[in-house]
Structure 1
Amino acid sequence: MTHYAKNMYDFHTWANQTLINRLKELPEGVYEQEVQSVFPTVAKVVEHIYMVDQGWLRIVKGMDMRMALNEAWQQEQEMTGKSLEEVEQMYVELVEQYSIFLSQEEDLDRRIVLDNPYTRVRDTSLAEIIMQVANHGTYHRGNITAMLRQMGYPSVMTEYALYWYAN
């Protein structure tokens, strides 16, 4: 039986790709169009999800949280100005890295010490971290949906229940 955290990561991957496919259907410029919202552009939200996913991958592989997040934030410079297609390819590569980790990790219920610089030390399972990755993505895909509607474009459904039937 597949561990629930792996299933949620698969959902996260599906939902991100579903949204990227929708963004590719929209008129040129929408991805970088400035809007008065939580993030200045849809591109910045997509980049944020990617960078946070990168940080968490480093953490589950054993890197200190502060160092993992610093390295992930440094990537922001690399991502700025990249096309949606280039960012999509970066996601494909990141998903592959997660897939390798998830296929090799025998115990997702294994607990690690998470020294979160924004709050405090916490004993956390790898599965909880993978669930955080999926939950964080869901939250920010909602931001993108609201931003697209504000610009006059419909988004696309990325609900977990739809994922059940799409796969």
Structure 2
Amino acid sequence: MKNLTLDMYDYNVWANQEMINHLKGLPKEVYHHDVQSGFSSIAEVFSHIYLVEQTWFDIFEGLSMEEAMAKAFQLKEQMEAKDMRELEVLYDDLSRKYKLFLANQENVDEVIVVNNPYAGELKTSISETILHVVTHGNYHRGNIATMLRQQGHASVMQDYGLYLYRR
């Protein structure tokens, strides 16, 4: 039987890579161009996607949410300054770590407890958290699509249905 949690994460990696590949084909200035949106640039959005995924991975590896969030906050400006190719290398590395981690889990539905310093204690599971990571990425790739249109560029399809045809 197929591991749905790992498949959803694979979809997330594929969708991020589709967007990265598309962005690499556009003029370099598009990535850091200031836009009027919830985020000030595509670089800021993609860095946010990456740092949230890194935060959750750090939590899976044993850091508290507070520690993982502090680590991400320290990296924020550095990540936003990177170009698309540098972020791609970091994201590829993080994706490999996630896939290895998920492949080695005996029970992705086992309850884990996360203490969010802003929202309190949450009893969840690895599988639910991966679904959060995937939907979070989807939401923000939608932000990137809007930002591309604001700059006069098309986006790229990266929905789950297309992934199913291409995997």
**1:85 and 2:106 are equivalent in the alignment:** no
TM-score by length of 1: 0.96
Give yes or no for the alignment of 1:68 onto 2:68: yes
Q: Distance in 2 between matches of 1:80 and 1:14?
A: 21
After the TM superposition, list the runs of 4 or more consecutive aligned residues in structure 1 that deviate by more than 6 angstroms: none
**Following superposition of structure 1 onto structure 2, how do residues 10-159 of structure 1 map, counting pairs within 5 Å?**
10-159=10-159
The yes-or-no answer on 1:2 pairing with 2:10 is no
Q: Distance in 1 between matches of 2:28 and 2:125?
A: 42
- Tell me how large the CA RMSD over aligned residues is: 1.0
Tell me, in whole angstroms, the C-alpha distance in 1 between the residues paired with 2:130 and 2:62: 14
Give the distance between the partners of 1:20 and 1:26, measured in 2 at CA: 10
Work out whether residues 114 and 121 of structure 2, in 8 Å CA contact, stay in contact via their aligned partners in 1: yes
Amino acid at match of 2:122: R
| Stretches of structure 2 lacking an aligned partner (at least 5 in a row) | none
Q: Structure 1, residues 30-84: CA drift from partner, whole Å, max 9, x if none?
A: 1111111111000000000000000000112222111111112211133132111
Q: Which digits, 9 at most, give the CA deviation of each residue in 1:101-147, with x for residues without a partner?
A: 11111110111111111212121011001111101000000000000
- 2:6/2:103 contact within 8 Å kept: no
